[in-house]
């Protein structure tokens, strides 16, 4: 039964008040049409509770905009929602089309920093920046992989009543393929329900090829203003917290606090060993208790740590790049070559399938924030 406008509604009661349920909630296909966004397929979703978000089938079935009652939860970079044909995979040029958004997927064959990986030898490898600033013309893999720039096929947007519950979804398949190389397929379904402030994400990744394949998979969940402001904070029950580098080490004592915009601030990354419940489900959150005259706003993300054992906190409070990222993954972010060398690189065998279930919950009151904070603090 949907809770809307301070009341619970049965299907029969609600439909008496509208000509179409689309008046209140649903998912609708659109196509972006301006500048370098032109041609990018999108799906506009509204749940009726005040939650709205945009799915981009034209960009790997990721989620760009997300807001609650006009208050943005997701961060938007100055690149905009660049359409897939403008993707430049070399080196750090992934950043030229990094629009931010609530969810930008990294992978599938590689994620993390650009590097020279011996497995990518020959002309199919991308140039990669070397420590001395020179370019290596073979064997390079660029930042964060291809998957977020591959348009989805078999895109399916629909809705249905199940008793008094109304559910709507967007689904599509994203295939990362290259002759003589990877043949990985991501099938993604994004679901919401009428009257709820939740987004359910189900991913299925399959190796369609006949050779084992490197598999790196990371959710780059990007949060911005007005959720991100001075006084906002992370709720992460971390068994161990490690800074990625010297810049992060300098801010280790305040990793859980988000500051005001800071001139010339470099990014900071922290690796967390996140506590879980008895089913190995981890939950993390980022909240701002002061927003909306003390009503509060936040987001929690629950994910299966058995398939995403790593978690990175990306903290970037620089002026004009004011953003934080919550990043569950099956890898860390320092480059595929490093994890191949230390033996932690994940491979999918021919025909192997891995599934991922993730829940995004928008927190819209102090009571909800209190409940999530207590839940996270009780994990072990």
Please report the pLDDT score of residue 124 as a whole number: 44
pLDDT tens per residue, range 90-118: 889 999 999 999 999 999 999 999 988 87
DSSP bridge partners of 348: 213
DSSP annotation string for 4-69: ETTEEE-HHHHHTT-S-GGGT-EEEEEE--SGGGTT-EEEEEE-SSSEEEEEEGGGTTEEEEEEET
In the chain, the number of structural domains is 1
Q: Which domain holds residue 90?
A: 2-377
pLDDT tens per residue, range 299-346: 999 999 999 999 999 999 999 999 999 999 999 999 999 999 999 999
Structure tokens at 341: 């060398």
CATH number at residue 39: 2.70.98.10
Going by pLDDT thresholds of 50, 70 and 90, the confidence category of residue 129 is low
Going by pLDDT thresholds of 50, 70 and 90, the confidence category of residue 123 is very low
Which uninterrupted H or E stretch holds 164?
none
pLDDT tens per residue, range 185-210: 999 999 999 999 999 999 999 999 99
pLDDT tens per residue, range 217-261: 999 999 999 999 999 999 999 999 999 999 999 999 999 999 999
Contact at 8 Å (CB) between 147 and 106? yes
Q: Which residue has the tokens 């007005």?
A: 226
Q: What is the DSSP letter of 368?
A: H
């Amino acid at each position: 039964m949907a809770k809307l406008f301070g009341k619970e509604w049965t299907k029969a009661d609600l439909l008496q008040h509208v000509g179409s349920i689309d008046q209140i909630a649903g998912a609708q296909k659109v196509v972006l049409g301006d500048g370098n966004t032109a041609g990018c397929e999108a799906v506009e979703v509204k749940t009726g509770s005040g939650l709205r978000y945009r799915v981009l089938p034209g960009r790997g079935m990721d989620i760009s905009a997300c807001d609650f009652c006009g208050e943005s939860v997701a961060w938007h970079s100055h690149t905009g929602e660049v359409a897939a044909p403008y993707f430049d995979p070399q080196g750090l040029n992934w950043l030229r089309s990094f629009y931010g958004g609530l969810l930008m997927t990294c992978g599938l064959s590689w994620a993390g920093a650009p590097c020279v990986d011996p497995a990518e030898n020959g002309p199919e490898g991308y140039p990669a920046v070397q420590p001395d600033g020179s370019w290596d013309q073979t064997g390079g893999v660029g930042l964060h992989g291809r998957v977020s720039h591959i348009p989805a096929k078999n895109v399916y947007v629909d809705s249905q009543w199940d008793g008094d519950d109304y559910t709507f979804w967007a689904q599509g398949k994203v295939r990362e393929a290259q002759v003589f190389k990877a043949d990985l397929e991501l099938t993604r379904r994004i679901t919401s329900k009428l009257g709820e402030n939740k987004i359910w994400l189900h991913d299925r990744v399959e190796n369609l090829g006949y050779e084992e394949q490197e598999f790196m998979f990371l959710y780059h969940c990007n949060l911005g203003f007005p959720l991100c402001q001075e006084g906002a904070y992370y709720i992460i029950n971390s068994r161990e917290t490690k800074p990625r580098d010297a810049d992060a080490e300098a801010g280790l004592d305040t990793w859980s606090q988000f500051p005001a915009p800071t001139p010339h601030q470099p990014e900071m990354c922290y690796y967390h060993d996140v506590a879980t419940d008895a089913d190995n489900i981890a939950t993390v959150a980022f909240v701002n208790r002061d927003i909306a005259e003390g009503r509060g706003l936040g987001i929690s993300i629950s994910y299966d740590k058995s398939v995403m054992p790593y978690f990175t906190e990306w903290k970037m409070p620089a002026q004009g790049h004011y953003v934080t990222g919550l990043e569950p993954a099956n890898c860390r972010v320092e480059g595929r070559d490093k994890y191949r060398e230390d033996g932690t690189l994940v491979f999918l065998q021919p025909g192997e399938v891995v599934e991922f279930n993730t829940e995004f919950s928008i927190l819209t009151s102090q009571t909800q924030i209190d409940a999530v904070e207590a839940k996270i603090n009780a994990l072990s």
